[in-house]
């Protein structure tokens, strides 16, 4: 199962890199009175793949932590040690907090909540991508070769 989750995470990661520049989207509904596309919510294909990447990495980390618990080690939080040790977590928390506070000052609350949800998703993608590269599921040379 671990090999399948690694392959799933790698496949989703590469497919996300390939499809990201195309901007394939579907208008879901109108959020505000803005002209044209400014007040509309879109469902992007990259958002779906980003969500799949975050879920597959969380499942992969949970599986590794379950295997580590069998041998008496708690590894769930250790697998995210690059966040805790490098001081990235406080910066991410501060950044997301500022973005969350900006919701209260926005003219259109629905548009700001939609934008905040997409921002939160892509912060999760950044953390998931860092985990995928750090764990060796995807090599940096292959990522750069895609571009």
Q: Is 72's pLDDT higher than 80?
A: no
pLDDT confidence bin for 21, thresholds 50/70/90: confident
Q: Distances from the Cα of 43 to the Cαs of 12, 115, 129, in angstroms?
A: 17, 12, 21
As a whole-number percent, the residues of the chain with pLDDT over 90 amount to 8
- 70 or 121, higher pLDDT: 121
- Structure tokens given for 30: 């109108």
* Chain mean pLDDT for the chain: 79
Report the Cα 147 to chain-centroid distance in Å. Answer: 20
- Over residues 41-59, the pLDDT tens digits come to 888 999 999 999 999 888 8
Task: From 56, 44, 55, select the one nearest 20 (Cα to Cα).
Answer: 44
- Over residues 25-36, the pLDDT tens digits come to 888 888 777 667
Please tell me the predicted confidence (pLDDT) of residue 51.
92
| Alpha helix positions (H), the chain | 2-19, 45-70, 81-85, 88-105, 109-134, 140-146
Q: Is the pTM of this model over 0.85?
A: no
């Amino acid at each position: 199962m671990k090999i399948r989750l690694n392959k799933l995470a790698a496949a989703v990661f590469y497919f996300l890199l390939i499809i990201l520049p195309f901007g394939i989207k579907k208008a879901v509904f109108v959020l505000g009175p803005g002209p044209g596309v400014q007040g509309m919510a879109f469902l992007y294909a990259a958002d779906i793949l980003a969500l799949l990447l975050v879920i597959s990495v969380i499942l992969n980390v949970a599986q590794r932590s379950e295997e580590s618990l069998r041998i008496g080690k708690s590894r769930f939080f250790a697998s995210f040690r690059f966040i805790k040790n490098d001081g990235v977590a406080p910066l991410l928390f501060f950044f997301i907090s500022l973005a969350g506070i900006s919701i209260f000052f926005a003219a259109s609350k629905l548009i700001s909540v939609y934008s905040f949800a997409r921002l939160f998703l892509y912060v999760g993608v950044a953390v998931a991508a860092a985990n995928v590269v750090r764990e060796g599921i995807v090599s940096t040379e292959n990522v750069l070769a895609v571009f």
